[in-house]
Amino acid sequence: MADLDYKVIVGLEIHVHLATKTKIFCGCELAYGDTANTHVCPVCLGMPGSLPVMNKTALEYSILTGLALNCEIAKFTKWDRKSYYYPDLPKNYQISQYDLPFSEHGYIEIPLESGETKKIRILRAHLEEDAGKNTHTLGNFSAIDLNRAGTPLLEIVTEPDMNSAEEVGALARELQRIVRYLGVSEGDMQKGHMRFEPNINLHITKNGEVFKTPISEVKNLNSFRAVERSVAYEVRRQLAAFEETGVTMQMGNKATYGWDDDKQMTVLQREKEEAHDYRYFPDPDLVPVDIDDAWLGEIKGRLCELPIQMQVRFAKEYGLSDYDAGVLTADRATAEFFDGTVKLGADAKRVCNLLTQTGLKLANEKGVSVDQLRISMENLAKLAKMADGGDVSASAATTIFEEMAENGGDPAQIAEAKNLVQKSDAGEIEALVDAVLAENAKAVEDAKNNPKKGKKAMGFLMGQVMQKSKGQANPKIVSQLLNQKLNV
């Protein structure tokens, strides 16, 4: 296996639940976790004679996402019936889009470990309705919950441009950031808002000839870990299968697999159907959609700066590490709060440290986003400037941040009330330094004349001065005075 030269080829299908208030073709409320079959009506139950009506917001959310993915938006699109029978699909067909999707031919940029980005092409994005949900936990039978039937489902299909499990995971994470930034989906995979289906095969070079293994589609993955591990497993399985059987794409059909998280392996489900098996035809109950320039322009106006663009800008413009920039852009509220604070004149790295080391922890404990803490951008900028100017120490700045997050307030007033203002009076600090030097002759001798112990001695003397000042002396001034008096 190790001697084979191969390239991993992966395309990804992503299903995104859109955060509309009602279902795509009826007025039933979209709700997660409610009692089974309590959000249903004749339309989503597939009752004879019931007629669907399109949810305009669902289409607008889809178009907004297509624009963010740099897709071409069709001025004319229609609805098609995709015929198949499953117990959780009462109509025996799904309303989807076949030959005229609303968007296609776009791309998404994903971050790589090197700090660079890679462009992954988007083949198409189309809108459809989701099916219900089969459950198998009530006894020796299957039960069906149709609350989810009719949920607006955006399906995004990439070209096979990814070449590792890590790249597939990066795309999945980036797409989650995008839909959350746009506000079109909560992107909560625990609730089934996003599901991923990688299509994996290998191009193996042997004796100068290229062999392509059959494509495996792994269905309905709902975690980034499952996405990455299933792709990595399929690579190993397909390599072993090729060495054992020599089966290639021309000899074997595409098949679908499930992922067994307990066994950490894929499990064969069935051979894949082809498009003609679904007997697509235009839905006679829904009129086509014409998207004029005015409507498209209004939707374009809702676009925001996308997360990968923000991440690159923060690293380039503010000098942040790629890691810190990634943490700050994990959600839109934090990114915009940070950006707005820096634009008020605060040092970017200081604001970054306050937010990433203290703010995100407090926000997580309270179950809110950073911008919902009781700290305004103006007060955070003021606190950052106080820390940079030596008015308060770094640890004091953390204490003040925590107080503002809990009770609000002006950072300067909090610093005064809590006696956290650093003393920068050189004369006052010099008196403390002289007292410490007089009381610690051995440390003074080591600092001046013992190279092995000099650094430790200086740290000790510094700590003694800070202790005498009850932590209020400006460390920069203390350090300068010590160096001057000891001639080091």
Question: Model confidence over 121-141: pLDDT tens digits?
Answer: 999 999 999 999 988 888 899
Whether residue 1 is predicted with pLDDT greater than 50 in this model: the reply is: no
Do 281 and 325 sit in the same domain of this protein? no
Q: Side chain identity at 229, as an amino acid letter?
A: R
Of 90-104, 397-411, 458-472, which gets the smallest average pLDDT? 458-472
Please state the rounded mean pLDDT for residues 151-179: 97
User: What does the pLDDT average to over 213-225?
Assistant: 95
For residues 363-377, average pLDDT: 94
> Which of 301, 297, 368, 296 shows the shortest CA–CA distance to 334?
368
The residue-averaged pLDDT of 73-78 equals 97
Per-residue b/e over 228-251, b at no fewer than 16 CB within 10 Å?
bbbbbbbbebbbebbeeeeeeeee
The answer to whether residues 67 and 161 belong to one domain is yes
Domain boundary among 248, 265, 296: 296
Does residue 477 fall inside a structural domain? yes
* Predicted local confidence at residue 426, as pLDDT: 67
Q: What is the rounded CA–CA span in Å between residue 479 and residue 352?
A: 26
Average pLDDT over residues 149-165: 97
**Taking the mean position of all CA atoms in its chain, how far away is CA 31?**
23
Q: What does the DSSP 8-state code read for residue 473?
A: B
What pLDDT score was predicted for residue 271?
Answer: 72
Domain match, 327 and 447 both: no
Cα distances (Å, whole numbers) of residue 330 to 17, 159, 240, 333, 359: 20, 25, 38, 9, 14
pLDDT band of residue 120 (cuts 50, 70, 90) is very high
Shared domain check, 474 and 453: yes
Average pLDDT over residues 76-93: 93
Q: Is 110 exposed, middle or buried (0-12, 13-18, 19+ CB in 10 A)?
A: buried
For residues 9 and 200, the answer to whether their CB atoms sit within 8 Å is yes
Distance from C-alpha of 231 to C-alpha of 172, rounded to nearest angstrom = 13
411 and 433 together in one domain: no
Identify whether the C-beta of residue 92 lies closer than 8 Å to the C-beta of residue 84.
yes
- Of 168, 192, 183, the closest CA to residue 68 belongs to 183
Enter the tokens of residue 393.
């120490």
Other C-beta atoms closer than 10 Å to the C-beta of 119 total 10
- Domain ends where: 268, 296, 324? 296
How many domains would you assign to the chain? 3
Residue 302 within a domain: no
Q: What is the mean pLDDT of the chain?
A: 92
Instruction: Give the rounded distance of the alpha carbon of 203 from its chain centre.
Output: 30
| 317 and 236 both lie in a single domain | no
The pLDDT score that the predictor gives to residue 32 is 86
What are the two backbone dihedrals, phi and then psi, of residue 103, each rounded to the nearest 5 degrees? -150, 150
Mean local confidence (pLDDT), 70-98: 95
Same domain, 239 and 381: no
Residue 152 shares a structural domain with residue 184: yes
- For the record, the structure tokens of 9 come out as 């080829």
> What is the per-residue pLDDT for 425?
55
Residue 301 in domain: no
What mean pLDDT do residues 338-355 have?
A: 97
Range of the domain at 340: 307-417
So what's the pLDDT on residue 481?
A: 78
Cβ-Cβ contacts under 8 Å for 401 (sequence gap 6 or more): 354, 358, 359, 375, 380, 383
Tokens representing 130 are: 């989701």
pLDDT digits (tens, 9 = 90+) for 433-458: 888 888 898 888 888 888 788 788 88
| In a shared domain, residues 482 and 410 | no
CATH number at residue 463: 1.10.10.410
Q: Cα(238)–Cα(349) distance, rounded to whole angstroms?
A: 47
pLDDT at 58: 98
CA atoms of 59 and 79, how far apart (whole Å): 12
pLDDT for the residue numbered 241: 92
Of 247, 265, 296, the one marking the end of a domain is 296
- On whether both 366 and 480 belong to a single domain, the answer is no
What integer is the mean pLDDT of 162-187? 97
**Helix intervals (H) in 19-79:** 56-68
Task: Report the distance separating Cα 175 and Cα 165, nearest Å.
Answer: 16
190 and 277 housed in the same domain = yes
**Mean pLDDT over residues 168-185, rounded?**
97
Same-domain pairing of 313 and 237: no
In a domain, residue 139? The reply is: yes
pLDDT value of position 294: 97
Q: For 245-280, what is each residue's pLDDT tens digit?
A: 888 877 666 899 999 999 999 999 887 656 667 899
List phi, psi (to 5°) of 397.
-60, -40
70: exposed, middle or buried (Cβ count in 10 Å: 0-12, 13-18, 19+): middle
